Chain A
Amino acid sequence: MNKKLLFEIGTEEIPARFIAKTKADMKGYLEKTLKELHIEYKSIELKCTPRRFVVVIDELAENQATVEEELKGPAKKIAFDENNNPSKALLGFLKGKDISPEEVYFKTVGKDEYAHIKLTKEGQAVKGLLKDIFEGMIKSTTFPKSMRWGGKNIRFVRPIRYFVCLMDEEVIDFEIEGIKTGNITKGHRFLGSSEIVINTPDEYEAKIKENFVILDDEQRKALILEQCKAVADSLGGTLMMDEDLLEEVNYIVEYPTAFYGEFDESYLSLPKEAIITPMKEHQRYFPVLDADGKLLNKFITVRNGDSYAIDNVKRGNEKVLDARLSDALFFYHEDTKKPLEAYVERLDTIVFQQKLGTILDKTKRIQNLSEKIAKALALTLPNLDRAAYLSKADLTTAMVFEFTELQGIMGRYYANLSNEPSEVAEAIYEHYLPRFAGDELPSTNEGIILALSDRLDSVAGFFAIGIQPTGSQDPYALRRQALGILNIMMEKKLNVRLFDLLDLALENFDFEDMDKQSVKSDLMSFFELRLKNLFTDMDIRYDVVDAIINIENSNPFDLLIRAKDLDAWVKNNSVTEALQTFSRISNISKESIAGKVDEALFAHDSEAKLNTAYNSIKAEVEAMLAKRQYVKALELLISIKDSVDTFFDSVMIMDENMDIRANRLAMLSNIRTTMESVADLSKIVNA
Chain B
Amino acid sequence: MQMGAYKMNFQQMILKLQEYWSNQGCIIMQAYDSEKGAGTMNPATFLRALGPEPWKVCYTEPSRRPADARYGENPNRLYQHHQFQVIMKPSPDNIQDIYLKSLEAIGINPREHDIRFVEDNWENPTFGAWGLGWEVWLDGMEITQFTYFQQVGSIDCELESAELTYGLERIALYLQEKNNVYDIDFTDEIKYGEVFKKAEYEHSVYSFELSDKDMLLNMFNTYEKEATRLIDEGLVMPAYDYVLKSSHAFNLLDARGAIGVSQRALYIGRVRNMARKIASAYVKQREEMGFPLLKGGDINE
- A residues contacting B by CB (< 8 A) are 12-13, 15-17, 50, 145-151, 157-159, 161, 189-191, 252, 283, 301, 303-305, 308-309, 312-313, 315-317, 319-321, 323, 349-351, 353-354
The 0/1 profile, CB within 8 Å of A marked 1, for residues 113-127 of chain B is 111111101000000
The B110-158 residues at the A interface (CB cut-off 8 A) are: 110-119, 121, 131-134, 138-141, 148, 150, 157-158
Interchain CB contact under 8 A, B139 and A316? yes
Give the residue of A149, A190, A315, A319 whose beta carbon is less than 8 angstroms from that of B160: A149
Interchain CB contact under 8 A, B121 and A145? yes
Contact flag A13-B76 (CB < 8 Å), given A148-B160, A320-B141:
no
The 0/1 profile, CB within 8 Å of A marked 1, for residues 1-42 of chain B is 100000000000000000000000000000000000000000
Which of B90-98, B186-194, B213-221, B235-243 is near enough to bind chain A? B90-98
The B262-292 residues at the A interface (CB cut-off 8 A) are: 262
In the complex, A348→B260 CA distance in Å? 11
Q: B230 contacts the other chain (Cβ, under 8 Å)?
A: no
Interchain CB contact under 8 A, A316 and B140? yes
Q: B261 contacts the other chain (Cβ, under 8 Å)?
A: yes
Interchain CB contact under 8 A, A190 and B110? yes
Give the residue of B117, B119, B157, B262 whose beta carbon is less than 8 angstroms from that of A351: B262
Q: B293 contacts the other chain (Cβ, under 8 Å)?
A: no
CB distance from A145 to the nearest CB of B (A): 6
CB distance from B90 to the nearest CB of A (A): 5
Chain B residues with CB under 8 A of A323: 76
Contact flag A151-B140 (CB < 8 Å), given A351-B262, A354-B262:
no
Interchain CB contact under 8 A, A317 and B140? yes
Chain A interface, DSSP helix/strand/loop, else mixed: loop
Interchain CB contact under 8 A, A151 and B90? yes
Contact flag A303-B119 (CB < 8 Å), given A319-B141, A323-B76:
no
Subset of 30 A-B contacts with CB under 8 Å: A13-B117, A13-B119, A13-B134, A16-B119, A145-B121, A147-B148, A147-B150, A148-B150, A149-B91, A150-B91, A150-B160, A159-B91, A189-B100, A190-B111, A191-B111, A308-B111, A308-B112, A312-B112, A312-B139, A313-B114, A313-B139, A315-B139, A316-B174, A320-B139, A321-B140, A349-B257, A350-B261, A351-B260, A351-B261, A353-B262
In the complex, A148→B140 CA distance in Å? 28
- B residues contacting A by CB (< 8 A) are 1, 76, 90-91, 93, 96, 100, 110-119, 121, 131-134, 138-141, 148, 150, 157-160, 174, 257, 260-262
Chain A residues with CB under 8 A of B110: 189-190
Chain A residues with CB under 8 A of B115: 189-190
The closest CB in chain B to the CB of A349 belongs to B257
In the complex, A135→B255 CA distance in Å? 50
The closest CB in chain A to the CB of B110 belongs to A190
Chain B residues with CB under 8 A of A146: 132
Contact flag A147-B90 (CB < 8 Å), given A17-B119, A313-B113, A320-B140:
no
The closest CB in chain B to the CB of A282 belongs to B140
In the complex, A542→B78 CA distance in Å? 59
The closest CB in chain B to the CB of A157 belongs to B132
Contact flag A158-B132 (CB < 8 Å), given A190-B111, A313-B114, A316-B141:
yes
CB distance from A173 to the nearest CB of B (A): 19
In the complex, A321→B139 CA distance in Å? 11
Beyond A17-B119, A151-B159, A308-B111, list 16 extra A-B contacts (CB 8 Å): A16-B119, A145-B121, A145-B132, A146-B132, A147-B132, A147-B148, A150-B93, A159-B148, A161-B93, A191-B111, A252-B116, A303-B114, A316-B141, A317-B139, A317-B140, A351-B262
The closest CB in chain A to the CB of B142 belongs to A320
Chain B residues with CB under 8 A of A161: 93
CB distance from B97 to the nearest CB of A (A): 8
The closest CB in chain A to the CB of B75 belongs to A323
Chain B residues with CB under 8 A of A148: 150, 157, 160
In the complex, A309→B262 CA distance in Å? 51
Chain A residues with CB under 8 A of B121: 145
In the complex, A151→B47 CA distance in Å? 17
Chain A residues with CB under 8 A of B96: 12
CB distance from B15 to the nearest CB of A (A): 24
Contact flag A312-B1 (CB < 8 Å), given A252-B116, A301-B140, A321-B140:
yes
CB distance from A235 to the nearest CB of B (A): 19
CB distance from A358 to the nearest CB of B (A): 9
CB distance from B148 to the nearest CB of A (A): 5
CB distance from A71 to the nearest CB of B (A): 44
In the complex, A316→B112 CA distance in Å? 11
Chain B residues with CB under 8 A of A50: 117
Chain A residues with CB under 8 A of B76: 323
Interchain CB contact under 8 A, A312 and B160? no
Chain A residues with CB under 8 A of B1: 312
Chain A residues with CB under 8 A of B131: 147
CB distance from B144 to the nearest CB of A (A): 13
In the complex, A530→B267 CA distance in Å? 36
Chain B residues with CB under 8 A of A158: 132-133
In the complex, A91→B96 CA distance in Å? 62
What are the 9 closest A-B residue pairs judged by CB atoms, nearest first?
Answer: A316-B139, A354-B262, A15-B119, A351-B261, A13-B117, A317-B140, A309-B112, A320-B140, A147-B132
The closest CB in chain B to the CB of A327 belongs to B76
In the complex, A55→B34 CA distance in Å? 52
CB distance from B226 to the nearest CB of A (A): 29
Chain A residues with CB under 8 A of B117: 12-13, 50
CB distance from B269 to the nearest CB of A (A): 13
In the complex, A321→B148 CA distance in Å? 29
In the complex, A570→B141 CA distance in Å? 60
CB distance from A54 to the nearest CB of B (A): 19
The closest CB in chain A to the CB of B157 belongs to A148
Contact flag A252-B118 (CB < 8 Å), given A308-B111, A316-B174:
yes
Chain B residues with CB under 8 A of A145: 121, 132
CB distance from B241 to the nearest CB of A (A): 30
Chain B residues with CB under 8 A of A303: 114
Chain A residues with CB under 8 A of B113: 309, 312-313, 316
Chain B residues with CB under 8 A of A313: 113-114, 139
- Most chain B CB within 10 A, of A50, A149, A189, A309, is at A149
Chain B residues with CB under 8 A of A317: 114, 139-140
Interchain CB contact under 8 A, B132 and A151? no
In the complex, A281→B131 CA distance in Å? 23
Contact flag A304-B261 (CB < 8 Å), given A316-B138, A323-B76:
no
Chain B residues with CB under 8 A of A321: 140
Chain B residues with CB under 8 A of A320: 139-141
The closest CB in chain B to the CB of A178 belongs to B93
Interchain CB contact under 8 A, B148 and A149? yes
Chain A residues with CB under 8 A of B91: 149-150, 159
CB distance from A251 to the nearest CB of B (A): 10
